[in-house]
Structure 1
Amino acid sequence: MTDQPRLRIRGLKKSFGDRTILNGIDLDVPAGKSTVIIGGSGNGKSLLLRCILGLIEPDEGIIEIDGENILQASRRRHETLLKRIGMLFQNAALFDSMSVLDNILFGLKAKGKAARGNRAEQEKEALHLLSQVGLGAHVAPLNPAELSGGMQKRVGLARALAGRPDILFFDEPTTGLDPIMSAVIDGLISDCVTRLGSTALTITHDMTSAMRIGDHAAMLYGGKIIWQGPANRLMESGNPIVDQFTHGRREGPIPTSSLTSSGSAGS
């Protein structure tokens, strides 16, 4: 079953009142590869991740991990499957009341790993995770507010790697970062995929980032995946909608209103 995707999504739909955000998403995410999803704000990129994570229940559709539909799994089995996923949220989403160390220990606990070994062994693993994202032990006792935006992203990535998940989700990982730190974060993401053999799914509107980290790419527009292909073809896809978006052209089939639409549900 070498051709079976790690994640397989078919006919996924989600509406809020009379507003349809996801209108039949079909997407394959190949195992051991990095897939990027591009699209404007309000087109449902973050909502798609939330549906996969079980944070929001879709109205219709299938979400499979290695051929198993997680929407039909028992609660216990569903939780087990979701523990295979590590998530880096857009703003790192660190707990302000916890130190960096405790944030990572929380990640280990959420994956069921903190129950193994004593406190010293757990802290050793947490410090190892920090080292994997280029941060030293001196950062561990600090609070998130004492860190720069780039360092917070790195800590968020370390927490996402807790428990060594084989699936990683990244929600706009370079938003708010300068070009150099964006390149650093992209490099860390690529390294995780290569070194750990993880399957990565990233949502972004940063074309430079998409080209750097993506093996496979897809564009979400109008509630559907309108194009899929190798990430190195993003800038010359041949699809007029994709071409307008990736090249940042004002004129084209995408109306300006759809690029400026907002709403947390459909970001």
Structure 2
Amino acid sequence: MTDNTSAAPKIRIRGLRKAFGSKIVLDGIDLDVPAESSFVIIGGSGSGKSVLLRCILGLIQPDEGLIEIDGVDVLRAPRREREERIGEIGMLFQNAALFDSLSVWENVAFGLLAPEPTRHSEKHPRLSRTEARARANAVLEQVGLDPSVGDLSPSELSGGMQKRVGLARAIADRPEILFFDEPTTGLDPIMGAVIDGLIVDCVKTMGSTAIAITHDMASAQRIGDEAAMLYQGKLVWRGPATSLMNSGNAMVDQFTHGRREGPISMELRR
């Protein structure tokens, strides 16, 4: 990928804090994600990974901090500008999160048909059903599914196929940013590798910026250019995704190798 080290980050986060009652979930997160790169965040259950994504998406309001997308502070920008920036994000949910009442192609084209005027622009116009079906067929092929699958209901699909449909929906509007929430959860190792390969191909083809959260170390190394570990609300390590299994950081090494003993276990025993 292109060297973006000297360019302004696509996503810039400073001093991000979020607590639920007395539970501090994000404790001063600083993070830059370069444009056209894939960034992976690892960490245990309850470490704040999903909360971080939801803050960027605008689904959760942080207590403090700054979140910039393309230099725009989405926490303080006017509503229209904020929605335009957040509208550039495509999301693959952990369990695909398909709508049972819609056909597969309607799931894929959901954002293209959405009635909200703020969701559409000259860059992302609302499409007719005929146009949306054609786009859905194209992205289904892009993720390795025959367009005829579009006429099925989500309940007729295997877990791997549902995940592909979720990915197709995430990329259907050609977003500049893609979020992946545990993309290989519930999949066998081979299908997990297939999904990871599709994610990498889609990111490279569209030139998107991607953030993935995962417990799957093989997936993290396949998807990521860079990686970071979130622990007790703080980013305790950042480095190349290829270094995840030999980071030299005691907490990262314990987590990635699944060791019972180490600094994380000592904290949990208190």
Q: Same fold (TM over 0.5)?
A: yes
> SS in structure 1 opposite 2:263?
coil
User: How large is the Cα RMSD of the aligned pairs?
Assistant: 1.6
Equivalent residues of 2:113, 2:129 under 8 A apart: no
Shift of 1:195: 1.1
The equivalent residue for 2:224 is 214
Residues 206-232 of structure 1: CA distance to partner in whole angstroms, max 9, x if unpaired? Answer: 000001111000000010111111111
User: Is 1:134 aligned with 2:150?
Assistant: no
The equivalent residue for 1:157 is 167
- CA distance, structure 1, for counterparts of residue 61 and residue 37 of structure 2: 26
Equivalent residues of 2:113, 2:132 under 8 A apart: no
Equivalent residues of 1:250, 1:256 under 8 A apart: no
1:194-233 alignment runs, 5 A limit: 194-233=204-243
Equivalent residues of 1:96, 1:145 under 8 A apart: yes
The equivalent residue for 1:250 is 260
User: Which portions of structure 1, spanning 4 or more consecutive aligned residues, are displaced by more than 3 angstroms?
Assistant: 256-259
Give the counterpart of 1:32 among 24, 31, 36: 36
Equivalent residues of 2:17, 2:28 under 8 A apart: yes
TM-score, normalisation: structure 1: 0.93
TM-score, normalisation: structure 2: 0.92
Shift of 1:132: 0.6
- CA distance, structure 1, for counterparts of residue 146 and residue 133 of structure 2: 13
With over 3 angstroms needed to count, the CA separation of the structure-2 counterparts of 1:236 and 1:139, relative to structure 1, is same
Equivalent residues of 1:52, 1:63 under 8 A apart: yes
> SS in structure 1 opposite 2:18?
strand
> SS in structure 1 opposite 2:248?
coil
Shift of 1:119: 2.5
- CA distance, structure 1, for counterparts of residue 255 and residue 113 of structure 2: 40
Amino acid at match of 1:66: D
The equivalent residue for 1:119 is 129
1:1-267 alignment runs, 5 A limit: 2-110=6-114, 111-112=119-120, 113=124, 115-116=126-127, 118-255=128-265, 258=268
- CA distance, structure 1, for counterparts of residue 258 and residue 93 of structure 2: 25
> SS in structure 1 opposite 2:237?
strand
Shift of 1:107: 2.3
With over 3 angstroms needed to count, the CA separation of the structure-2 counterparts of 1:138 and 1:256, relative to structure 1, is farther
With over 3 angstroms needed to count, the CA separation of the structure-2 counterparts of 1:42 and 1:256, relative to structure 1, is farther
With over 3 angstroms needed to count, the CA separation of the structure-2 counterparts of 1:119 and 1:7, relative to structure 1, is same
> SS in structure 2 opposite 1:177?
coil
Shift of 1:115: 2.2
- CA distance, structure 1, for counterparts of residue 73 and residue 31 of structure 2: 14
Shift of 1:3: 2.1
With over 3 angstroms needed to count, the CA separation of the structure-2 counterparts of 1:250 and 1:80, relative to structure 1, is same
